[in-house]
């Protein structure tokens, strides 16, 4: 990780564009899953390259170790994970701290739902407020025994001991598309050895399905339906390269588009179609984005992306594309501030239960730079082209809000961000990179 970040971070206006090549840190979603699924291999060691050493993923690393899995950390951000098999996880000796990671908590509830031992989870103050009921409901339908605060919906949460014979497959029609809920069901089915069918209103991220297939598991996808077939044992690839996180790349995609005289290449970015909504929206706004050097690892598509400054215009999008870009809404809002005309975002109510209420945070803090944003119940209306001023703004201890504010300040007249250290959740090198690409 980078050095100590001060209590306030001053971002100056970029005067001559940003240039060069940026190696994007590993995908957070794939890093989480590489640990969990590799841990279930039958005595095999999986070498995971470009693992994201962020706070969230390190919490998952420690949780996997607490379950009795041997993980060797290497100096080049790679891991060697020696699997214990589908039935080899062990009871943790202490309460497992999920930190700020909703992904860790929700996926782990599925992973441990059919285990013959007890596991209790805690987390930080923000995670204690995040609702877990929509994950717990389908797991209980399968036979899991889970207890928690506020009618089994909030941390601390305990997964009670269970037996495989108590588990059964289900067909579950999800009320809201969610990769985390879907993944929890798939991981429970994997360890319990049962078949499940999941029906989503629209397809969500498919990182779990991609990685399961890379490990030889039969997971069928047909439109909005996912069918999991039980596996007796896992034998995965010897090496997995975690792609660069497109959610982290999104900040540079927007910065390169809106800061004049910019031209940057983003290396080894994950371009899984279930995650590339940001590319579709920016291209629809007029961005100059080109993909090259495509290849695949661990079931994930990877490419280099070249972005150059361009004149953007407003757009509108809603719930159909939202599962493919929900985490990128804060930085898309920044692009909209610098676009000609109005941008309307709807169907984004899930943002109200992220690390913070992101819809409110965007409206509250970005309006300090320019009075351009109207907050809707499920989205935002953003008036582009208004002059931005230098101002102080609060990150809400949310990594994506902090980074979006930094790009807005760099493209505008500067910004001073309070509580900037939260970027360590997903992108510890972010501020250093922003300094290094300026000329």
Question: What positions carry a catalytic annotation?
Answer: 327
Distances (CA, A) of 186 to 60, 62, 110, 131, 375: 18, 22, 7, 20, 35
Give the other-Cβ count within 10 Å of 436's Cβ.
11
Residues linked to residue 9 through DSSP beta bridges, in sequence order: 417
CA atoms within 13 Å, Cβ hemisphere of 104: 28
CA–CA separation, 249 and 284 (whole Å):
18
Angle formed by the axes of helices 102-112 and 28-38, nearest 10°:
20
CA–CA separation, 128 and 107 (whole Å):
16
CB 38 within 8 A of CB 82: no
**Three-state DSSP class for 149?**
helix
Strand segments (E) across 165-277? 171-173, 196-199, 219-222, 225-228, 239-241, 263-270
**Three-state DSSP class for 67?**
coil
Angle formed by the axes of helices 28-38 and 179-192, nearest 10°:
10
């Amino acid at each position: 990780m980078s050095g100590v970040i001060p209590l306030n971070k001053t971002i100056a206006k970029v005067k001559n564009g940003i240039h060069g090549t940026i190696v994007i840190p590993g995908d957070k979603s794939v890093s989480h899953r590489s640990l969990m699924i590799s841990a279930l291999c039958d005595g095999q060691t999986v070498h995971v390259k470009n693992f994201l050493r962020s706070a969230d993923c390190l919490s998952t690393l420690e949780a996997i170790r607490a379950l009795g899995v041997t993980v060797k950390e290497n100096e080049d951000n790679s891991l060697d994970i020696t699997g214990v098999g589908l039935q080899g996880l062990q009871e943790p000796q202490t309460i497992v701290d999920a930190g700020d990671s909703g992904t860790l908590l929700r996926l782990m509830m599925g992973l441990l739902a059919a285990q013959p031992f007890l596991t209790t989870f805690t987390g930080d103050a923000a995670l204690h407020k995040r609702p877990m009921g929509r994950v717990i409901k389908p797991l209980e339908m399968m036979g899991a025994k889970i207890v928690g605060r506020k009618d089994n919906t909030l941390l601390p949460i305990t997964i009670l001991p269970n037996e495989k014979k108590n588990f059964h497959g289900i067909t579950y029609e999800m009320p809201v598309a969610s990769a985390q809920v879907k993944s929890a069901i798939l991981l429970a089915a994997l360890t319990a050895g049962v078949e499940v069918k999941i029906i989503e209103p629209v397809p969500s991220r498919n990182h779990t399905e991609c990685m399961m297939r890379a490990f030889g598991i039969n997971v069928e996808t047909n439109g909005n339906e996912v069918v999991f077939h039980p596996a007796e044992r896992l034998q995965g690839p010897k090496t997995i390269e975690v792609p660069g996180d497109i959610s982290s790349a999104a900040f540079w995609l927007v910065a390169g588009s809106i800061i004049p005289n910019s031209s940057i290449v983003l290396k080894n970015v994950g371009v899984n179609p279930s995650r590339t909504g940001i590319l579709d929206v920016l291209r629809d706004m007029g961005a100059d984005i080109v993909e090259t050097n495509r290849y695949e690892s661990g079931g994930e598509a990877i490419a280099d992306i070249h972005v150059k400054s361009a004149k953007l215009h407003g757009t509108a999008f809603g719930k159909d594309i939202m599962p493919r870009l929900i985490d990128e809404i804060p930085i898309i809002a920044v692009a909209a501030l610098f676009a000609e005309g109005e941008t309307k975002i709807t169907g984004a109510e899930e943002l109200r239960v992220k690390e913070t209420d992101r819809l409110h945070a965007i409206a509250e803090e970005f309006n300090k730079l320019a009075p351009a944003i109207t907050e809707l119940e499920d989205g935002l209306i953003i008036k582009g082209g208004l002059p931005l001023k230098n101002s102080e703004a609060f990150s809400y201890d949310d990594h994506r809000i902090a980074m979006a504010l930094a790009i807005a300040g760099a493209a505008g007249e500067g910004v001073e961000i309070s509580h900037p250290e939260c970027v360590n959740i997903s992108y510890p090198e972010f501020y250093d990179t922003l300094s290094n690409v300026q000329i």
